[in-house]
Amino acid sequence: MKRLRFSRRSTFSRSLFLFVALLFASLVTSYMVVLNFVVMPSLQQFNKVLAYEVRTLMTEKMVLQDGTSVRVSPALRKKIYNELGITFYAHSAAMEEGLNWAKEYDFLSEHMSEYIGGKASVHLELGREYPILWLTSYLAPDIWVRVPLTEIGQNQFSLVFRYTLTIFLTIFAGVWLYIRYQNKPLLELEYHAGEVGKGVILSPMQEKGATEVRAAIRSFNHMAAGIKTLENDRTVLMAGVSHDLRTPLTRIRLATEMMSPEDSYLAESINKDIEECDAIIGQFMSYLKTGQEMDMEFCDLNAILMEAVNSESNVIGEIETALEPGSMIVNGNPLAIKRAITNMIVNAYRYGNGWIKVSSGKTEDSVWFQVEDDGAGIKEEDIHRLFQPFVQGEKARSNKGTGLGLAIIRRIVDAHEGSIEIHKSERGGFAIRALLPLKEKED
């Protein structure tokens, strides 16, 4: 089963990007709303109160609600300073105390100037346990007022950031799992469609997922069932035709055995044609059966190669071998693999000039077997066409055959999730290599 692919063109990545973009936009919108309708009004109110306090405490008289003026004694003013934590510094002392690290905020300075009734400059020092506000105004240009904002702890901002990050990651993980769950049936549908393309009809898919996905799976199951029915009907039809053709061939063979010795040369020619017809019928049946669902098992590829080589060498002569040392375990159908190797050897014998070499090897993720001959080879533009059923090369057209040999090999290799490579042999002839996925036996 394939895993979800994180490609920018996939539905998974596009949906995930859309959710993340919307989530980020909502967070930014929420931040702007809180900043403009909660934080800024509160900050303006704080500036207004602070401006009133500074203006009151830095003058000798305080105006009451009814408009009367009251002189503020130094002792009372000092007590208020101590209660609020307000301290006063000259410019040089303020620089040493932390003003040097403070940053001026224009909008705070503008608001403070408006509330205090004259020019003011507001700096904010961050990086301590709590922010420090530094203020100087026209009331005392050489004096800096230090106001600790103890109610606003620095850790509160980091706490808000952690909460926001946690919420973002939680939503992101939830969206990831949701999209993954929604796309899983599509991956299964893709896998089943690929198997149908290889000629393997799997069991019907379970209908799950969204309504549209369920409808697609239902239609696919119906299509796969129809294809399987057609395959079965074709196999039954060909089996019937094969039986009907082989029956008269058998009667002809029996008739040749009853011919007189004087006609033995004629009987021999007739029997040869009968055997050729029977081989063609068998190849048709083999092509129809190949690619159907196979029983897979762990088997040694080298052992299958040697079995096929020994069997064919008794008929066609010596076959050179160069097999990978040791065993090469594949998960496949031994009979089907042997049939593919046998077809390769037969093709090499039929279209070569006598030299045949069978070899094997392995890479990091696959094993391969190869058959070479010393024939004329084929043109590069004809390679893809020759794997189609009933297609033969230029030299093969002069021989009697069905053009199904390479097509059968391709179907067998496809059923094993492998691939085929074609190139020139070491003697300039035709070389065909089949690569199968490497499997290891589990203990």
Tokens in use for 162?
A: 């952690």
Tokens in use for 215?
A: 């409808």
Report pTM: 0.47
pLDDT for residue 356:
94
In this prediction, residues 77-86 reach a mean pLDDT of 75
pLDDT tens, position by position, 212-251: 888 889 999 999 888 888 877 777 777 777 777 778 888 8
The Cα diameter of the chain in Å comes to: 152
Each domain of the chain, given as residue ranges in start order, spans 11-156, 211-288, 291-437
Q: Quick check: 402 pLDDT over 50?
A: no
Residue 139 amino acid letter = L
pLDDT for residue 369:
95
203 SS3 class: coil
Q: Quick check: 314 pLDDT over 70?
A: yes
Distance CA 31, CA 22 (A): 14
Q: What CATH number was assigned to the domain covering residues 211-288?
A: 1.10.287.130
Q: What is the separation, in whole angstroms, between the first and last Cα of the chain?
A: 23
pLDDT for residue 396:
45
pLDDT for residue 190:
85
CATH T-level topology, domain 291-437: Heat Shock Protein 90 (3.30.565)
Average pLDDT of the chain is: 79
Distance CA 276, CA 211 (A): 55
211-288 and 291-437 in the same fold:
no
